[in-house]
Every structure is written in C-alpha cells, then in structure tokens.
C-alpha cells in the first residue's frame, strides 16, 4: 500500500492547478498545468489500506487503483503504467474526461476529501508517454480471422486494440476524415488536446490495426458487404442522434444543436477551413442543458469572444454535498464548477424554455419561465415568463440513441425502445456475428463505460470466433461483471 499514515498526515485534497482564466481563454490549449511531483506523490500517499477498496466497484473498468497509487508514491512510474494499462487501454482519455465515479466510491471519502485518483491516473500515463514507456504490443501470431469495427470513438478503439493484440486482423471504419469520433471532433482542445489521440493511434497502427477513414457504412459500403467480407462486425457508432426541443420558433435562424457548433469549432482549431462556421464573437449566447456538452459550448463561446453566455437548466440546482438518497459509495449528482464555468457566464436553474422568439426569421431571444412541479412533471409556471436576449441558442439536451444508418434494413439488427441497437448478454445483436458496444447499445454514457464495454465486447467477439478467449471482460450490458465467457 502507499504511505500507511498518509491519509492522516495529508488531510487536504490538492488537485491539478488550472491556468489563470484571463490567459487560458486566449488560446485552445488544455486548461490544466502539470502538478508538482512531490505534491502528486503525497496525494497518492493518501490512499488507505482500506481492506475493501470500493473504488474498484466505482470504476466500470475495475482499475487497480490502490496498486498504482502505491507505485506512484514509491516513484515507480514504469510499474505504475503497467498496472494501469492492465485494465484501461486509454488512461489519457479517462484521466482527462471521466467524471471519476471511482472517487465517489473512495473509502477515505466517507469523512475526508477523496483521493485524487483521476489526477494520479493522468499523471501516470503522461509520464509514461514522456519517457517512452508506451510501446506497441503486436500479436505473436495471427488467427486468420477478420473483424470490422464501425466507429472510432473510445468503444470502437478499445474493441479494435484488444482484438488486434490477440491476433485478429481488425479494420476500423470511420465516416469522418480522421480517426477519433467525438474524442477528436466533439471534445474541445481545452479539455483534451488531440495529440493525446494521435499518439495512441500511432501505437495501434504499429500493433497492426488498420484504419479506413471517410467511409460511411450504410451508404459508401453496406453493412451486408461488411458481413460478407469479415468474420465479425462490431457496431460502435455511438449515440449521436441529438434530442430536439420542438417548441414555437424552433426553425428560426440561430437555433442549433450543440454538436453543430462544437464540431466545426474543433476543425478550425485543428487548422481546417470551415465554410459558414457558427461563431459566437460579439453575440449573446444561450445554452440549453447543464451537462458536459453544455460546458463545452460555454468554454468555446468564451474563446470566441461572446458578448454574454447564459446556461439554462430545467431542473433544480444540485446539492454541493451528498443528499440522503445518494449515500456513499454511490455516484451522486452534485453541483460542479467545470473550468468553463470559472471563465464566466450565468447559470440559471428551474428555467423552462417556452419559445424561441425572433424577427424576420432570425432569433432575437428566448422566452423562459420558472419551472414548477405538477404531479411529478416539470412545467412552466404561468405568469413568470421573461425574454432573454439571444443571437445564438445551442441545444445541449443529450442524445436519443444511435443513428439507424441502414442497420435495420441491411443486417436486420433490431433497436430497443430507447433507440439503442438491441443486444444479448454477450453484446451480440439478433444477427449472428454482428456485435454492438458502447453508447450505440448502451445509450449516452460515460467514456469509462465506453472503454469497459469495448473491452468486454472484444472478449465476446474473440470467443465467438475462436471458441474461447483469454481477454478480460470487465462488464456485461446489464452492468454486472461477466463471470465466465
């Protein structure tokens, strides 16, 4: 274990410092600064010999958190990355983007601030890349089996890397011009610079994974063609159908889905030319939805130089501490201040959007009212309406499921009632040999769940192709561990 008395000697939780707001909103680089080595070691040393490490159950990947906390405290970085990579293919992604349910389950968190697990994790992988400890792991032999993975987000990449390493020939199909899915075009650089994606892809290419960009499966090539060409097909297209808000004025110019704003912005940051880019400079911006995507829009609008930014959420403001109905070690819904919220803007809760108002077909404002609860429903309260000036509105209301893209017609795979591709307990659809992993089958979820499902789906595919598997399977679609594949 780490320092046996570390949690008694170091009671203060100290996270990675953020760059000053006036500085960081002038560029698109990551907002975090490197944490001093001694501080990192002392924070890792707060990890207790708690007997039953509940952080294991809090993490869908089952990360060996106490083990690599101990190794960091002992300054054994190369061993730490080996333990981290044993359960997590891409800690550079989760260490930056995951909301850290493991920290909510930390035993120390019962009566002290939890261990900075996420910060230790990202420091391990960053040090490993800097020191050349992340090397390709190509297979020792090829099986002769082929797999097509459709979608190059975290789930698809995890499936591909696991199956490549056991000897299958894997091709990843991506409709965009570059690999990465929403990791590349949905996540702003101030949260994760794309160098993190590129250097991991170099490792995967060296291992033998093949990538096919600019191919829209379902149109450019059909799902049935993939089935004939490959021994197995994995659907990892994500849950990309945005939730709409069909209220009066929805058709006004200036009302957009969040991704229609974020994706072109990320392309421009990457040096691409984008025609008719939605730009917030000098404009009054309203964001509907208080989640991570809304915060991404907020940070992007700040860097564009918006005149004002208002975030509206229909529900109540979450508590800053656990409530009785969210006891330890569950993952609570808490009021959080992301880096984008530090940078400015107004956050309003209990705000029901009633109408988009405008003139001559262009948006000029958003009519909102206070939210009241009637028979368990959230409704606008009569007489409380007001208009917020707005030139741009971004709908950040979540996603309703996977895009059909010919899946039903071409391979007869079914969708469930929530808009997800239906699957059995081993990630297979009702069409033999066609599997689904990540948000496409689970619905909108966390990046850590996408990687965990990708690893488990890879084990299921390997067993389907070979009759047995040595790949670990951390989770099943029911969120319970698969005991035996």
The DSSP element (H or E) to which 211 belongs, if any, is: strand 210-213
Can you give the pLDDT at residue 2?
A: 66
Can you give the pLDDT at residue 478?
A: 62
Q: If pLDDT is split at 50, 70 and 90, which confidence band does 481 have?
A: very low
pLDDT 10s digits, 130-146: 999 999 999 999 999 99
Can you give the pLDDT at residue 34?
A: 87
pLDDT 10s digits, 107-134: 999 999 999 999 999 999 999 999 999 9
- CA angle centred on 353, ends 347 and 354, rounded to 5°: 155
Q: Coil, strand, or helix at residue 457? A: helix
Lowest-confidence segment of 42-56, 186-200, 444-458, 470-484 by average pLDDT: 470-484
Can you give the pLDDT at residue 477?
A: 76
Q: Is the pTM of the predicted complex or chain greater than 0.85?
A: yes
Among residues 103, 83, 155, which one has the least CA distance to residue 449? Answer: 155
The DSSP element (H or E) to which 296 belongs, if any, is: helix 292-304
For residues 458 and 35, which has the higher predicted lDDT (pLDDT)? 458
What is the rounded average pLDDT of the residues 321-345?
A: 94
Q: Which residues pair with 105 in a beta bridge?
A: none
- If 0-12 CB within 10 Å is exposed, 13-18 middle and 19+ buried, where does residue 84 land? buried
pLDDT 10s digits, 192-244: 999 999 999 999 999 999 999 999 999 999 999 999 999 999 999 999 999 99
What proportion of the chain, given as a percentage, has pLDDT over 70? 98
What is the rounded average pLDDT of the residues 65-84?
A: 96
Among residues 52, 56, 51, which one has the least CA distance to residue 88? Answer: 56
CA 160, CA 180: separation in Å to the nearest integer?
Answer: 12
Mean pLDDT of the chain: 95
pLDDT 10s digits, 376-426: 899 999 999 999 999 999 999 999 999 998 999 998 999 999 999 999 999
Residue 484 has pLDDT above 50, yes or no: no
Q: Which residues of 256-293 are buried (b: 16+ CB within 10 A; e: fewer)?
A: bbbbebbbbbbbebeeeeeeeebbbeebbbbbbbbebb
Can you give the pLDDT at residue 482?
A: 40
Among residues 165, 173, 171, 158, which one has the least CA distance to residue 142? Answer: 165
Can you give the pLDDT at residue 473?
A: 85
pLDDT 10s digits, 279-317: 999 999 999 998 999 999 999 999 999 999 999 999 999
DSSP secondary structure code for residue 223 in this structure: H
Can you give the pLDDT at residue 1?
A: 59
What is the rounded average pLDDT of the residues 170-195?
A: 97
Q: Could you tell me the two tokens for 7?
A: 């949690």
Can you give the pLDDT at residue 476?
A: 73
């Amino acid at each position: 274990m780490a320092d046996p008395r570390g949690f008694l000697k170091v009671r203060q939780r100290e996270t990675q410092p953020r760059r000053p707001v006036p500085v960081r909103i002038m560029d698109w680089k990551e907002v975090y600064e490197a944490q001093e080595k001694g501080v990192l070691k002392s924070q890792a040393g707060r990890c207790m010999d708690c007997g039953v490490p509940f952080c294991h159950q809090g993490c869908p990947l089952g990360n060996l958190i106490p083990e690599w906390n101990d190794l960091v405290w002992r300054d054994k970085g190369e061993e730490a990355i080996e333990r981290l990579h044993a359960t997590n293919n891409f800690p550079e992604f989760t260490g930056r983007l995951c909301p850290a349910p493991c920290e909510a389950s930390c035993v120390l968190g019962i009566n002290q601030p939890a261990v900075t697990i996420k910060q230790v994790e990202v420091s391990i992988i960053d040090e490993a890349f800097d020191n050349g400890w992340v090397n390709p792991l190509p297979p020792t032999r090829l099986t002769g089996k082929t797999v097509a993975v459709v979608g190059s987000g975290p789930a698809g990449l995890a499936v591909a890397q696991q199956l490549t390493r056991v000897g299958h020939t894997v091709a990843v199909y991506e409709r965009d011009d570059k690999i990465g899915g929403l990791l590349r075009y949905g996540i702003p650089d101030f949260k994760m610079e794309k160098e993190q994606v590129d250097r991991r892809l170099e490792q995967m290419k060296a291992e033998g994974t093949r990538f096919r960009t600019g191919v829209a499966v379902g149109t450019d090539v059909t799902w049935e063609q993939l089935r004939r060409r490959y021994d197995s097909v994995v659907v990892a297209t994500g849950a990309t159908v945005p939730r709409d808000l069909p209220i009066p004025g929805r058709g006004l110019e200036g009302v957009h889905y969040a991704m229609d704003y974020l994706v072109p912005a990320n392309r421009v940051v990457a040096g691409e030319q984008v025609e008719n880019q939605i730009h917030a400079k000098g404009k009054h911006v309203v964001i509907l939805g208080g989640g991570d995507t809304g915060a991404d829009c907020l940070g992007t609008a700040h860097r564009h130089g918006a005149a004002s930014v208002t975030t509206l959420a229909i529900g109540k403001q979450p508590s800053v501490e656990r409530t009785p109905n969210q006891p330890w070690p569950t993952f609570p819904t808490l009021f959080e201040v992301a880096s984008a919220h530090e940078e400015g803007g107004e956050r309003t809760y209990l705000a029901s959007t009633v109408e988009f108002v405008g003139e001559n077909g262009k948006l000029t404002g958003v009519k909102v009212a206070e939210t009241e609860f009637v028979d368990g429903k959230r409704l606008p309260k009569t007489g409380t309406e007001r208009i917020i000036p707005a030139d741009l509105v971004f709908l950040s209301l979540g996603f309703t499921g996977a895009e059909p893209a010919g899946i039903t017609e071409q391979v007869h795979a079914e969708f469930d009632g929530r808009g997800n591709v239906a699957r059995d307990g081993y990630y297979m659809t009702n069409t033999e040999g066609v599997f689904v992993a990540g948000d496409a089958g689970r619905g909108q979820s966390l990046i850590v769940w996408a990687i965990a499902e990708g690893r488990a789906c890879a084990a299921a595919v390997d067993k389907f192709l070979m009759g047995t598997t040595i790949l670990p399977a951390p989770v099943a679609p029911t969120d319970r561990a698969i005991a035996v594949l």
